[in-house]
Amino acid sequence: MLFGRKKKNPIKLPDKGVVEWKYTTCGYCSTGCSIEVGLNEKGEAVTSRGVGDADVNRGKLCLKGIFEHELFRSSGRGKVPLIRDKRFQAFQETSWDQALDKVSAAIKNIQAEHGRDAFAIVSTGQIMTEEFYTLGKLARGVIGTNNYDGNTTLCMASAVSGYKRSFGSDGPPGCYEDFEHTECLLAIGSNLPEQHPVIFWRLREALEKRKFPVIVVDPRVTMFAQMADIHLPIKPGTDVALLNSFAHVILKEELADEAYIKAHTTGYDAFSQLVEDYDPFSASQICGIDEDTIRNVARVYAKAGAAMTIWTMGINQSTHGSDGVVGINNLNLITGNIGKPGGTSLSITGQCNAMGTREWSSCSGLPGYRALEKEQDRKEIAEFWGIDAEFFPKKRGLSQTDIFPAIETGQIKGLWIIATNPMTSMPNTTRIRKILEKLDFLVVQDAYADVELNEYSHVYLPAAIWAEKEGCFTNTERRVNLISNVIKPYADSKPDLWIFNQMAQRFAQGQKMNFPETASGVFDELRTLSKGRMLDYSGMSHEKIEAQRGIQWPCSDGSETGTARLYTDGRFQYADGRAKLIPLPFVDNNERPDKEYPFWLNSGRVVEHFHTRTRTGKLGNLNKFSPTPYMEMNPDAAKRLGIKHGSYARLTSRRGDAVVMVQTTQRIPPNMVFVPFHFHECVNRVSLGLLDPHSRQPAFKQCAVQVEPIDDQEAAAVRNKAARTY
C-alpha cells in the first residue's frame, strides 16, 4: 500500500485567466480588508484575493471577501429606474431624468404643503464617504430636512453616544495592533470569529506569539466563548451591573490607577458613590455571574500592565446600550487604559463604512464631527457651502427609529431610503409594513431591485455597488481605505454620488452650490474641512491611501502617515480636556420572559450571510452553507416541548409570529433561543426593539417569546410564502 503525498496530484488552483488585478477594499464588514479583484481579458471580474502588504488583513480574507467579485453580476440587480403612480401597481421602466424629476417634484410638493421636515431621508453605513458627505450637503444644505438619519441607529448609535458622553467626542481610540501589546482582552457581546473573522485572526496571531487572558461575556457559548480563558454567560441586558461591579472591586481593592483618574478625569466622587452599591453579591443577583468570577475578572483586568475591551452588538443593541459603552469607558479610565498600546476601549464597528457616515454624512450633525447645536460649527459649514447659516436647524431632528413612528402619526409624508432594507432589519416589521403604507411617497435607492422594501416604493433608483464606483471607507480602527473603480456599473445603474449630484441640480439652492463630480474632488473638501480637527484627513489623498493600503486618521497636512491611537496624551475633547466618569444606575426595563412567553429571544448573525441577504443570498457558495432560517434552542427545552432537532417550530411574541427550523445545541441556555436575523419574514416579525434613551438604538437582543412545534406541511406552506424569488 502506498501512503503519503507522493502518488497524489499536487493541489492546482484553476487558472481564471486573470490579466489584471485592481486594488479595492471589502464592502461587507468594518474590518476593512484590502482586496484585489482579478479581471480577465474581457474585463470581467473573475476572482478576489487578499492584499499581502495591507496591514489590516495581511493577505487574508474571509468567505465573504473571497466571493465578493460575484456580486457584480448577481441576480436581482437593478437595471433601470422604475416608476409607478401607486404602490403595488406594476412598475414602468423610465429614464434617469424622468425618475429624478419625479422624486424632486414629490419632495418639493410635500415640503410646500407640510413643511420642510415632512420629507425624511434614511441612509446607511454602506456607501462611500464621499457619497455620505454629498448626501449630507444635499439633505442639510439644499433639501433642508432635519429628519435625516442612517441605519447606523440600528448599529453604532450607542457606541457614538457612549464615546461622546465619556470623552466629549465620537472616535474609537484604539487599533488592531493593540492585540499585540495587551495583557488582557475583555470582549463583551461580540462574536468576533464569525462577524469580524479577520480581526479575530489578528487576535489569534497575537495570542500565538504571546499568551494573555481572553475573557468573553456573552449569554451564548459562541465560538469566541469556546476559545476564551473565562466565559461569563451573562443574563441578557445586564452588562451595566457587571461593569459597575468590576469598578466596585477595583476601587475597593485599591487597584485603580489613581494618578490617571486625578490627572485626566472628572466626576470621580459621584461615580465611586454609585459603584459602592454594586458589590459582587448584589451584582451577581442581577447579572447571573457568580461573585468570585466577578472579583477574579476585575483583578485580572486591573492588574494587567495594559488591558483592553472590545464590544459589538451585545452591548449596543440594548435598552442601556449607551450606558454599557460608558461603563466600558469608565472601566478603562479608572485603570488608565485609554490611548496606550494594548490599553483601550475599542468599539468593533459593523458595516464597512459605518465610521464614514459617523464622520461625514451630517446625519446627526454637520460634517467632520461638527454639531448642529454649535453656532460656530453651523457658521463654518454654511460659509464653506455658500449658504445662509440660518438654513440649518439648531438641533438634530429625528433618528431612524423615531422617523418611522412619525410616519405613523402623519408628521412625515415622504421618504427617501438609500442602501438599507428596513422591511427585514427593523424591529417589529409587521408595524413597519403598516407604516410604509401610510407614506404619500417612497423612493428606494438600492443596488438590488428585488430588495423587499421596493414592494412599497413609488420610484426605484438602481445604484451601482461597491467597486463599480470609487471612494473611501473608514474601518473600525479609523483607517481610511480606498475602493477603486474595478468594473463599470451594471446595466444603467449609477453611482450614488452621481444620483445625489443630479438631484442637487433640481433645486435652485443646489444649482448655486458647488457639488464636485468626482470622488477625489469631494475628498478635497473633506481635507479642507478636517484640517486641524480631531479627524484630520488633510494629509491624505486617494493615491497616498492606496499606496499605504489605508491610513488611520488623524493624518495632518505634511504627515507621512496616520496615527494609531487617540488620546495618547490623556487630553480629551471636553473643554477642560478631561474625560468624564459617569455613574450608571442599572434599570431593568426589558420585556422579560414570563409564563406565557417563557423564552428570551436573542438575535444576531452567522458568518456566511450579511444582513438582509440582498447580496449573500444570491451567492451560491454563501447561500449553500446557510440556506435556512433556523433557531438555536437548548436540547432540554426542546425535549420538554416535544420539538426535535431539524423540525420546524413557531415562534410567537406579543407582536407576531415566525416559523424557523430548530437546531438543538447546548450553546444556548435553556431559557433562551437565538435566531440569525438575515432572513426575511423571520425574527424581526417578533422582535420588540425597545429604544435606548440616549442613542435611540433598538434592543434587538432582548424580548420574550413562546415556542411551539408545528408539522412539516404547515412549515413548508409558511416558508414558501416568505421565500424570495431567487
Ligand X SMILES: Nc1nc2c(c(=O)[nH]1)N[C@H]1C(S)=C(S)[C@@H](COP(=O)(O)OP(=O)(O)OC[C@H]3O[C@@H](n4cnc5c(=O)[nH]c(N)nc54)[C@H](O)[C@@H]3O)O[C@H]1N2
- The C-alpha atoms of residue 247 and residue 579 are separated, in whole angstroms, by 16
Strands 579-580 and 599-604: unpaired
Q: Could you say which of 33, 128, 203, 241 contacts ligand SF4 (CB under 6 A)?
A: 33
Q: Could you say which of 81, 236, 367, 629 contacts ligand X (CB under 6 A)?
A: 236
Contacts of 328 (CB under 8 A, 6+ apart): 162, 188, 243, 309, 311, 315, 345
Decide if residue 350 touches ligand X (CB under 6 A): yes
Q: Could you say which of 106, 155, 206, 381 contacts Mo ion (CB under 5 A)?
A: 155
H or E stretch covering 25: strand 18-25
Cβ at position 549, least distance to ligand X in Å: 21
Query: Is-contact 657 631, C-beta < 8 A?
Result: no
Whether the ω angle into residue 554 lies within 30 degrees of 0, i.e. cis, is: yes
Q: Could you say which of 35, 274, 465, 651 contacts ligand X (CB under 6 A)?
A: 465
**What is the footprint of ligand X within residues 153-182 (CB under 6 A)?**
154-155
Query: Is-contact 290 600, C-beta < 8 A?
Result: no
Query: Is-contact 132 357, C-beta < 8 A?
Result: yes
Q: Could you say which of 314, 356, 393, 583 contacts ligand X (CB under 6 A)?
A: 314
Helices 519-530/375-385 angle, 10° precision: 140
Name the residue number minimizing CB distance to ligand SF4. Answer: 65
**DSSP-assigned beta bridge partners for residue 185:** 214, 308
Stretch that binds ligand X, among 332-340, 444-452, 566-574, 714-722 (CB under 6 A): 444-452
Taken as a whole, the chain contains a residue count of 726
Please provide the DSSP assignment of 74-143 as one string: -TTB--S-EE-SSTTSPPEE--HHHHHHHHHHHHHHHHHHH-GGGEEEEE-SSS-HHHHHHHHIIIIIII
Stretch that binds ligand X, among 417-425, 515-523, 524-532, 638-646 (CB under 6 A): 417-425
301 φψ region: left (φ > 0), alpha (ψ -120 to 50), beta (else): alpha
Lookup result for grid cell 424622468: 98
Q: Could you say which of 28, 392, 500, 507 contacts ligand SF4 (CB under 6 A)?
A: 28
What mask of x and - would describe binding to ligand SF4 in positions 43 to 62, judged by CB under 6 A? --------------x---xx
Decide if residue 223 touches ligand X (CB under 6 A): no
Phi, psi of 391, rounded to the nearest 5 degrees: -65, -25
Cβ at position 420, least distance to ligand X in Å: 4
Q: What is the identity of the amino acid at 139?
A: A
Cβ at position 346, least distance to Mo ion in Å: 16
Nearer to Mo ion, 25 or 337 (CB): 25
- Residue 249 interacts with which of ligand SF4, ligand X, Mo ion, none, CB < 5 to 8 Å by class: none
What mask of x and - would describe binding to Mo ion in positions 340 to 359, judged by CB under 5 A? ----------x---------
Nearer to ligand X, 29 or 326 (CB): 29
**What is the footprint of ligand X within residues 669-708 (CB under 6 A)?**
677, 683-684, 687, 700-701
Stretch that binds ligand SF4, among 21-29, 150-158, 173-181, 253-261 (CB under 6 A): 21-29
Decide if residue 653 touches ligand X (CB under 6 A): no
* CA neighbours closer than 13 Å in the CB half-sphere of residue 334: 31
Three-state SS for 39-68 is EECCCCEEEEEECCCCCCCCCCCCHHHHCH
Nearer to Mo ion, 172 or 350 (CB): 350
- Residue 160 interacts with which of ligand X, ligand SF4, Mo ion, none, CB < 5 to 8 Å by class: none
Eight-class DSSP state of 277? T
Nearer to ligand SF4, 64 or 549 (CB): 64
Eight-class DSSP state of 270? H
Q: Could you say which of 612, 626, 653, 695 contacts ligand X (CB under 6 A)?
A: 612
Decide if residue 149 touches ligand X (CB under 6 A): no
* CA neighbours closer than 13 Å in the CB half-sphere of residue 714: 11
Nearer to ligand SF4, 507 or 610 (CB): 610
Q: Is 383 helix (H, G, I), strand (E, B) or coil?
A: helix
Nearer to Mo ion, 271 or 700 (CB): 700
Stretch that binds Mo ion, among 77-85, 151-159, 460-468, 621-629 (CB under 5 A): 151-159
Nearer to ligand X, 466 or 648 (CB): 466
Lookup result for grid cell 473643554: 575
- Residue 603 interacts with which of ligand X, ligand SF4, Mo ion, none, CB < 5 to 8 Å by class: ligand X
Q: Could you say which of 141, 197, 342, 343 contacts ligand SF4 (CB under 6 A)?
A: 197
Q: Could you say which of 45, 206, 407, 463 contacts ligand X (CB under 6 A)?
A: 463
- Residue 487 interacts with which of Mo ion, ligand SF4, ligand X, none, CB < 5 to 8 Å by class: none
- Residue 198 interacts with which of ligand SF4, Mo ion, ligand X, none, CB < 5 to 8 Å by class: ligand SF4
Q: Which of 726, 718, 594 is nearest to 656 (CA)?
A: 718
Cβ at position 537, least distance to ligand SF4 in Å: 21
- Residue 191 interacts with which of Mo ion, ligand SF4, ligand X, none, CB < 5 to 8 Å by class: ligand X
What are the E-state strand segments in 205-342? 214-217, 230-232, 265-266, 307-311
Cβ at position 651, least distance to ligand X in Å: 12
Contacts of 71 (CB under 8 A, 6+ apart): 465, 466, 615, 618, 619
| Total residues at interface with ligand SF4 (CB under 6 A) | 14
Q: Could you say which of 237, 367, 562, 583 contacts ligand X (CB under 6 A)?
A: 237
Cβ at position 394, least distance to ligand X in Å: 29
- Residue 425 interacts with which of ligand SF4, Mo ion, ligand X, none, CB < 5 to 8 Å by class: ligand X
**What is the footprint of ligand SF4 within residues 361-390 (CB under 6 A)?**
none
Decide if residue 31 touches ligand SF4 (CB under 6 A): yes
Q: Which of 382, 379, 384, 355 is nearest to 527 (CA)?
A: 384
Give me the sheet containing 18-25, strands edge to edge: 18-25, 34-40, 45-50
Cβ at position 611, least distance to Mo ion in Å: 8
Alpha carbon of residue 92 to chain centroid: 34
**What is the footprint of ligand SF4 within residues 63-92 (CB under 6 A)?**
64-65
Q: Could you say which of 26, 187, 328, 444 contacts ligand SF4 (CB under 6 A)?
A: 26
Cβ at position 193, least distance to ligand SF4 in Å: 10
Contacts of 507 (CB under 8 A, 6+ apart): 104, 108, 142, 143
Name the residue number minimizing CB distance to Mo ion. Answer: 350
Stretch that binds ligand SF4, among 194-202, 280-288, 489-497, 553-561 (CB under 6 A): 194-202
Query: Is-contact 368 529, C-beta < 8 A?
Result: yes
Q: Which of 188, 168, 378 is nearest to 265 (CA)?
A: 168
- Quick one: 87 exposed, middle or buried, by C-beta within 10 A (0-12, 13-18, 19+)? middle
Residue 724: count other Cβ atoms within 10 Å of its Cβ.
14
Strands 630-633 and 672-676: antiparallel
What are the residues binding ligand X (CB under 6 A)? Answer: 29, 124, 126-127, 151, 154-155, 188-191, 194-196, 217-220, 222, 234, 236-237, 239, 312-314, 317-318, 350-351, 418-422, 425, 445-448, 451, 463, 465, 496, 602-605, 607, 609-612, 614-615, 677, 683-684, 687, 700-701
Binding residues (CB under 5 A) for Mo ion: these are: 155, 350
Site for ligand SF4, rule CB under 6 A: 26, 28-29, 31-33, 57, 61-62, 64-65, 196-198
